[in-house]
Structure 1
Amino acid sequence: MENNIEIKNIREKTPTLYIVIPCYNEEEVLPITSKQFLAKIRQLVTEEKITDDSRILFVNDGSKDSTWDIIRKLSAEDPHYIGICQSRNRGHQNAVLAGLMEAKDQCDITISIDCDGQDDINAMDRMVDAYLDGCEVVYGVRSKRDTDTVFKRFTAEGFYKLLNWMGAEVVYNHADYRLISSRVLQEFANYKEVNIFLRGMVPLVGFKSTSVYYERAERIAGESHYPLKKMLALAFDGITSLSVKPIRLITSFGLLVASLSFIGILWAVIGALVGETAPGWASVTCIVCFIGGIQMLFLGVIGEYIGKIYLETKHRPRYIISERTYKDTDAKQDMGTDKK
């Protein structure tokens, strides 16, 4: 990836931008950050980097508070605000996907970003510049983690290293803050899997890409929706959705244990023949417990893969849009239900 960006403006057409923002119980922070997003849109329009048809697309992920009411109010106040509402909570990754698929036929580029105000929105300027310079995907990457606790920094960095070691191709210190062109989104729409891990799926599409670096701030208001438990679940989903390396490690470890067991059997037989054996309840118990525990662990990992296959074969929709704040002429039903 190229890190140094020289703006050549090789694009002949001024692009239309859709900022895709997943929202789940964001009533505290949304009134604050929505103004920042609108100011950024207006700035980029003034600088003639994007068209005035650009929009801020909020995706309500089944919030239980007044998030959707706030989105509808914002849409009524300014046409740059639009929103879609999922029929129920489907998780962050599905919410981002719903927004990207909603926007792919209506704009030239999308930028996905969280609603909490932690990601530096000024990095969007460099993202758009990189697109104008010919890049189709631009990753927003944290330059440092000074605001994190030692534990958070250790677990987060370990998260990316583990994913890459397990075979999931991800950009180090990149979450879901990225620019994607409509050209890439059209190709990405061909990825039909139900188990979604966008950080690992987007690099698989290919095309010219680069990274822009920024410093992440503290959350403006509200509470984080990604505690350690969810981070671990996301890591496990990413690994099992994008890599078969755990299965291969299980096979390798199984061969090792089988080899050691064969050696143990030879040792036991030889000892019995020469009459040097003695009762060994403790050693037998330890071996049985060890082998039993390993088998249960491996069955759990294999079961996780089988479970994902089970979900994939059902071909259930990854998201269902129950309501929009605007008229979409390409939708199957105006203000109705879309399934994808």
Structure 2
Amino acid sequence: MNKPVLTIVVPCFNEEEVLAETSAQLSSVLLELMEELLISLDSKILFVDDGSRDRTWELIEVENERNPNIRGLKLARNVGHQNALLAGLETAAKHSDCVISIDADLQDDITVIHQFIEKFWEGQDIVYGVRDSRETDTYFKRTTALGFYRMMERIGIKLVPNHADFRLMSKRALDELLKYKETNLFLRGLVPLVGFKSTKVYYDRKERFAGESKYPLKKMLAFAFDGMTSFSVAPIRFVTFIGFLAVLISAIAAGYAITQELLGHTESGWTSLIISIWFVGGLQMLGIGIIGEYIGKIYHEVKRRPRYAVEKDLYTNILEVKQQSEAVIN
């Protein structure tokens, strides 16, 4: 078996504080893998700039000029982490035998990349990086994360618990993933749908090297809700169940009121009436909101707009020039 060409895809958004250190550490791992003859000398690291407003792209260009293993992809605007990651995966899929995706903040343990490659040599098409524990998280984040995975499992969405986007995919697995053309991306849910042989590698997550998290609570909640509504109609069914329950309670209350009227025990019920109106009105608004969320997703899907636009490509262009040069020499 020939040594596989590996591309490490790193989506970046305002990561000027960590980019140089990330580049240095990943380059060191890449060189070690080359020296151990586990990957091809043509293997690269691809940084994807997701419309950063700081000096991220300038630093990527500097690293590209200084290090032959560094490549860059600059998107024309900010399209979000999942679309930026997909842009890198699509670009790398054309010239790679396997691809590893990892965030730029160095929280994921890059030393387990060796284990990823070893599993790939053993015939695994997908290798998931899974957190061994969440002890470094706050109690709130740990509890909500575990609750999210349990809820997703209960409504029939197969996820890998405690796995983010730190994974290896073989070329054939990546090619299958790229056949999914939906606009509402939730890669953590899509990758398990691909199938093929897969395994897990466990590691301890570190503290962020520098800078601030790009996923505050608001974004985390939106991301979780997107994942839920992209893969299941359970929320709509839940609203239907609540609506049925409200009708049932209303029927029981109506029967009780009629009974009291017949027995001559009627009393003024202004408070209970107002509470009932607010309760039913709240259920209606909740139902309309959830249904509207699904309609909004349909609206985005049917437009079929491009998920991203590439402004500068320091990966494909350089490889094409190299291939043309080699063809002329041969």
| Structure 2 contact 131–204 (Cα < 8 Å) conserved | yes
- What letter matches 1:290 in structure 2? F
Residue of structure 1 in register with 2:307 after alignment: 318
Matched, 1:177 2:199: no
Residue of structure 1 in register with 2:214 after alignment: 225
SS in 2 for 1:122: helix
| Structure 1 contact 168–238 (Cα < 8 Å) conserved | no
Matched, 1:126 2:115: yes
Q: Select which of 236, 256, 280 maps to 1:247.
A: 236
SS in 2 for 1:301: helix
- What letter matches 1:187 in structure 2? E
| Structure 2 contact 182–301 (Cα < 8 Å) conserved | yes
| Structure 2 contact 11–104 (Cα < 8 Å) conserved | yes
Q: What stretches of structure 1 of length at least 5 have no aligned partner? A: 1-11, 332-340
- What letter matches 2:139 in structure 1? V
Scaled by the length of structure 2, the TM-score of the pair is 0.93
| Structure 1 contact 19–56 (Cα < 8 Å) conserved | yes
Q: Aligned runs of 1:64-143 on 2, under 5 Å? A: 64-143=53-132
Q: Select which of 299, 307, 329 maps to 2:288.
A: 299
| Cα shift at 1:168 | 2.5
| Cα shift at 1:263 | 2.0
CA distance in 2, matches of 1:37, 1:330: 20
Residue of structure 2 in register with 1:279 after alignment: 268
Q: Aligned runs of 1:264-275 on 2, under 5 Å? A: 264-275=253-264
| Cα shift at 1:278 | 2.2
Q: Percent identity?
A: 52
After superposition, the Cα gap between the structure-2 partners of 1:95 and 1:327, relative to the gap in structure 1 and judged at 3 Å, is: closer
Residue of structure 1 in register with 2:146 after alignment: 157
Residue of structure 2 in register with 1:9 after alignment: none
SS in 2 for 1:82: strand
- What letter matches 2:296 in structure 1? G
Matched, 1:308 2:274: no
Larger displacement relative to structure 2 (299-308 or 164-173): 164-173
| Cα shift at 1:330 | 9.2
Per-residue displacement from partner, 1:21-48 (whole Å, max 9, x unpaired)? 0000000100111001101111001111
- What letter matches 1:256 in structure 2? L
| Cα shift at 1:329 | 8.0
Q: Aligned runs of 1:19-30 on 2, under 5 Å? A: 19-30=8-19
Q: Select which of 42, 45, 48 maps to 1:59.
A: 48
CA distance in 2, matches of 1:203, 1:328: 32
Residue of structure 1 in register with 2:36 after alignment: 47
Matched, 1:197 2:193: no
| Structure 1 contact 143–214 (Cα < 8 Å) conserved | yes
Larger displacement relative to structure 2 (274-283 or 211-220): 274-283
| Structure 1 contact 29–220 (Cα < 8 Å) conserved | yes
Larger displacement relative to structure 2 (247-256 or 46-55): 247-256
SS in 1 for 2:152: helix
| Cα shift at 1:248 | 1.2
- What letter matches 1:250 in structure 2? V
RMSD: 1.5
- What letter matches 2:303 in structure 1? K
CA distance in 1, matches of 2:2, 2:277: 69
Higher helix share: 2
| Cα shift at 1:269 | 2.8
Residue of structure 2 in register with 1:263 after alignment: 252
| Structure 2 contact 46–315 (Cα < 8 Å) conserved | no
| Cα shift at 1:264 | 2.1
- What letter matches 1:102 in structure 2? T
SS in 2 for 1:100: helix
SS in 2 for 1:179: strand
- What letter matches 1:215 in structure 2? D
Per-residue displacement from partner, 1:2-29 (whole Å, max 9, x unpaired)? xxxxxxxxxx232110000000000010
Per-residue displacement from partner, 1:89-131 (whole Å, max 9, x unpaired)? 0111111111011111210100000001110011111111111
| Structure 2 contact 116–168 (Cα < 8 Å) conserved | yes
Residue of structure 2 in register with 1:208 after alignment: 197
| Cα shift at 1:265 | 2.2
Matched, 1:14 2:3: yes
| Cα shift at 1:266 | 2.4
- What letter matches 1:307 in structure 2? G
